[in-house]
A and B are shown apart, each in its own frame.
Chain A
Amino acid sequence: MPTYIALTYTADVDWTNPEHADEMAEYREFGQAAQAVIRGGSALYPTTTATTVRVSGGKGGDVLTSDGPYAETKEALTGFYLLECADLDEAVAVAATMPAAWNGAVEIRPVIST
């Protein structure tokens, strides 16, 4: 069965802030309901905590770090799930039940199996 990563893009919020307790409860509800296909995943701290790393001049070169996410977008990457589904239709159906799907968007990508 193929594995997909579901990247959740939503408002760039701090999930640990109690004001998002209701939404976190929704995600827990989703996690319970989709237990059979979820193989992993986490919520992420907001992009204010992000560090972007680049090495200039090729491998072993200078390490350049910058504060913030790789791309500044209106909706940010705020979490991910690994899903093991029968096919893309099932993955889409599961993604459509993630709160991020109506609060933002969910990007599904097939994972290369090793």
Chain B
Amino acid sequence: MPVDAVARVLREERTRILATLIRVVGSIDLAEDAVGDAVVRALESWPRDGIPATPRAWLLVVAKRRAIDLLRREALRAGKEAEAVSLLDPDPEPPEVVRDDLLRLVFTCCHPALSVDAQVALALRTLAGLSTAEVARGLLVPEATMAKRLTRARQKIARAEIPYRVPAAEELPDRLTGVAATVYLIFNEGYAAGAGDDLVRTGLTDEALRLARLLAELMPDEPTVLGLLALLMLQDSRRAARVDAYGGPLLLAEQDRSRWDRAAIVAGVELVGRALRRSPDRPDRYAVQAAIAACHALAPTYNRTPWDAVVSWYDVLLTVHDTPVVRLNRAVAVAERDGPAVGLAVVDAIEGLAGYPWWHASRAELLHRLGRGGEAASAYRAALALDVSVPQAAHLRRRLAALSA
């Protein structure tokens, strides 16, 4: 049994088992320990014996047994009777229950009593199953800082008794902002290859899409959810075209658009319309980002991208979500519409992106187009000196090498 296949199954099942086990044992820490143990046991035995017919049930039984051990040990240490927890439910959890458990986990990780940083970190670590190191890298903070942040967050959930439940209907819209941001970050973690050699970690993008679909099922009229799902679908529609034969990233301009997923684009565009119609006064941030993605998705070629519309949507986006990265993306669209000189001036005027590799890479590209090869090379080197994935670094080196060719 190839280790890759085992790892893939484990990655897919881990979160579901964890979500269920947290509900059963009432403790994230304990459940994480037990699931971690079950994963280790699977890594030992599955490559040798093969993946069980029902890997989730296998993992859940092992994790539950481990949880019982841990509970007993804890009770012994505390000199108390072990709480009567019926952990060995003979029937596997039906899919609806597993789904609800995942939502509970989503809303607990994104509870407003936790800082946004903690919410995002917890969801990536606990919900998406990334390592602490990957979460740290994804969020651009030192690993030790991230480890402390996660410990504090789990402690707060346990000690302050943040409930493990899906919020009531009247609270749902308010609770969504953090959830949407978290799901989008998980998607990006998979999509933008911020965490390693594998450019499209489809497990994570799929997980984010699945969560977004779940949220859309739960709240079919919520523009944030519709916008989020539309955005994820439209971005994901390019998945097959985003990498070349060697796994290197391809820019929007270089992609073979016939490989874009038409069905996903049609569905995504329809969702954008629904999301925007539901929020005419203050457009939702995700719906607007999805509208920008739709402009690209519907353009038959890169050169026929409606840059005017793209820039206008970015202007709308800035009214609800003004960040340096959004400004950079707008500047890139301005460069396409008004030429590299105008674009470069806009890019250069953005502050706060000196540590962001794509600011340097965008400058490099525009400097190159303006025939300023020396400055372009320096800018590519500045980008390479920052934290980029292996395929992205290869891409930047190719662009750098092409300058002198």
User: How many Å lie between the Cα of A45 and that of B159 in the bound state?
Assistant: 30
| Residue contact A92 to B113, C-beta cutoff 8 Å | yes
Are B163 and A89 closer than 8 Å at their CB atoms? yes
Classify the secondary structure of B's interface with A: loop
Query: Contact: A110 with B163, CB < 8 Å?
Result: no
- Residues of B near A2 (CB, < 8 A) are 160-161
**In this assembly, does A63 line the interface, its C-beta being within 8 Å of a C-beta of chain B?**
no
- Encode B272-313 as 1/0 by CB contact (under 8 A) with A: 000000000000000000000000000000000000000000
Contacts of B87 in A (CB 8 A): none
Residues of A within 8 A of B159 (CB): 110
Within the complex, the shortest CB–CB distance from B28 to chain A, in Å, comes to: 14
Q: How many residues of A contact B (CB 8 A)?
A: 10
Q: State the interface size on chain B (CB cutoff 8 A).
A: 7
Which residues on B sit within 8 Å (CB–CB) of A89?
162-163
Chain A 71-104 interface mask (CB, 8 Å, partner B; 1/0): 0000000000000001111001000000000000
Is the beta-carbon distance between B161 and A110 smaller than 8 angstroms? yes
A86 vs B161: C-alpha distance when bound (angstroms):
8
CB contacts under 8 Å to A, within B144-173, are 159-163
CB distance from B108 to the nearest CB of A (A): 11
Which residues from chain A contact B160 at a C-beta distance below 8 Å?
Answer: 2, 4, 88, 108-110
Main secondary structure of the interface of A (DSSP, over half): mixed
Q: In the complex, what distance in Å separates the CA atom of A110 from the CA atom of B157?
A: 11
Q: Which residue of chain A is the closest to B113 with respect to CB atoms?
A: A88
How far does the Cβ of A113 sit from chain B's closest Cβ, in whole Å? 10
Please measure, in the bound complex, the distance between the C-alpha atom of A108 and the C-alpha atom of B112, giving whole angstroms.
14
How far is it, in angstroms, between the C-alpha of A48 and the C-alpha of B360 when the chains are bound? 57
**Once bound together, how far apart are the Cα atoms of A82 and B34, in whole Å?**
35
Nearest-neighbour CB distance to chain A for B107, whole angstroms, equals 10
In the complex, A9→B274 CA distance in Å?
A: 44
Compute how far the CA of A88 lies from the CA of B161 in the bound complex, rounded to whole angstroms: 6
Least CB separation from A89: chain B residue: B163
Chain B residue contacts of A87, Cβ below 8 A: 161-163
CB proximity to B under 8 Å, residues A1-36: 2, 4
When chains A and B are docked, how far (Å) is the Cα of A109 from the Cα of B155?
13
Cα of A89 to Cα of B159 in the assembled complex, Å: 13
**Which residues of chain A come closer than 8 Å to B111, judged between CB atoms?**
88
- Measured in the bound complex, the distance between the Cα atoms of B327 and A46 in whole Å is 50
Q: Which residue of B lies closest to A2 (CB)?
A: B161
Q: How many angstroms from the CA of A101 to the CA of B199 in the assembled complex?
A: 48
Residue of B nearest to A86 (CB): B163
| Whole-angstrom CA separation of A4 from B160 in the bound complex | 8
Q: How far does the alpha carbon of A4 sit from the alpha carbon of B113 in the complex, in Å?
A: 14
Given contacts A2-B161, A88-B162, A89-B162, 12 further A-B contacts (CB under 8 A): A4-B160, A86-B163, A87-B161, A87-B162, A87-B163, A88-B113, A88-B161, A88-B163, A89-B163, A92-B113, A110-B160, A110-B161
Would you give 9 A-B contacts (Cβ < 8 Å), ordered by A?
A: A86-B163, A87-B163, A88-B111, A88-B161, A88-B163, A89-B163, A109-B160, A110-B159, A110-B161
The 4 closest A-B pairs by CB, nearest first: A87-B163, A2-B161, A87-B161, A110-B160
